[in-house]
Amino acid sequence: MTQKFEFTVNGKPVGVDLDNEETPLLNVLRNNLGLMGTRFGCGLEQCGCCTVLIDGRPEKCCAKPVWSVAGKSVVTIEGIGTPERPHPLQQAFIDEQAGQCGYCLSGIVVSAKALLDNNPAPTRAEIAQALDDNICRCGSHNRILRAVEKAAAQLRGGQQ
């Protein structure tokens, strides 16, 4: 039986009609809403490629049933910033050339956003810990850590 699921994505209300209420949010974002920035990595909530903000908290959405986000606010990488108006994190990732294949970066930027929203001045160890649920296989870790530090400083008003 088709049901309508309503929530907001990047500030805009959306409604999707689905037969299977267990459809993972990731599939809804990618296949129903055309938002490809949230990546599929494992489908097992292990790698962090699919991390989005749900009511402000970083959550993996590859196995999160769509019914569980009804009425909630979802923010994806597309809602963090754009090339025209990059979020300081995205600008810092570009400045630090923080990435190799880049497949993990959507989830990492979202996880980092959640960290900085709650902790504007994290230590390097706190950043690393916050990103431990995100796997980077290419080995861009140190650049990513530097980029998050840089963005944090930027967001605090340019103090280093």
Partner 1 sequence: MNAPVLPGPLKDNPSLARWVAFPAPGQVAINTGRVEIGQGVLTAMVQIAADELDVAMTRIAIRSGSTAVTPNEGYTAGSQSIQFGGVAMRQACADVRALFLAQAAKVLACPVNELSIRDGSILRKGASTGQDYWTLAGAVDLNVDAGGSGARKPIAELESIGTSSARLDLPAKIFGDAIFIHDMRLPGMQHARVVRQPNRGATIGSVDERAILRVAKAPVAFVRQGNFLAILGDDETAVDLAAVAADSHVKWQNVETPTAIQQEANWLLQRPAVDRVFGAEPADAKGRERFERTYSRGYLAHASISPSCGLAHYDNGHLTVWTHCQGVFPLRAALVKTLGLEASAITVHHVQGSGCYGHNGSDDAAADAAIVAMQLPGKPIRVRWRREEEFIYEPKTPAMIVKVHALLDEAGKPTDWTQEIWSPTHNQRPGAGGNLLGALALPHPPPEPPPNDVPESNGGGATRNAEPLYDIAAKRHIHHLVTETPVRTSALRGLGAMPNVFALECCIDELAERAGVYPVAYRLAITADQRARAVIEKVAAMANWQAGEPGGAGRGRGIAFARYKNRAAYAACVVELDVDEEIRLRHVWCATDAGLVINPDGVINQLEGGIIQSASWVLKEQVRFDNSVALGHASFDWETYPVLKFSEVPEIDIELINTKDEVPLGVGEVTAGPTAAAIGNAVSHALGTRIRDLPLTRERIMASLLKE
Write down the least CB distance from residue 91 to partner 1, Å: 9
> 71 or 139, CB closer to partner 1?
139
Residues 78 and 116: beta-carbon distance below 8 Å: no
Q: Which residues bind partner 1 (CB under 8 A)?
A: 19-20, 22-24, 27, 30-31, 35-44, 46-47, 49, 76-78, 81-83, 86, 90, 93-94, 97, 99-106, 109, 125, 127-129, 131-132, 134-145
Which of 12, 16, 110, 10 has its CA nearest to residue 70?
A: 16
**How do 3-9 and 73-75 pair as beta strands?**
parallel
> 85 or 159, CB closer to partner 1?
85
Write down the least CB distance from residue 158 to partner 1, Å: 21
Q: How far is the C-alpha of 16 from the C-alpha of 18, rounded, in Å?
A: 6
> 30 or 150, CB closer to partner 1?
30
Write down the least CB distance from residue 24 to partner 1, Å: 7
Alpha helices in the chain (DSSP H): 25-27, 77-80, 88-95, 105-118, 124-130, 141-155
User: Where does residue 69 fall: left (phi above 0), alpha (psi -120 to 50 degrees), or beta otherwise?
Assistant: alpha
> 61 or 159, CB closer to partner 1?
61
Tally the C-alpha atoms within 13 A of residue 41's C-alpha that lie toward its C-beta: 24
> 7 or 47, CB closer to partner 1?
47
Write down the least CB distance from residue 49 to partner 1, Å: 6
- Dihedrals phi, psi of 53, to nearest 5 degrees: -95, 130
Write down the least CB distance from residue 82 to partner 1, Å: 6
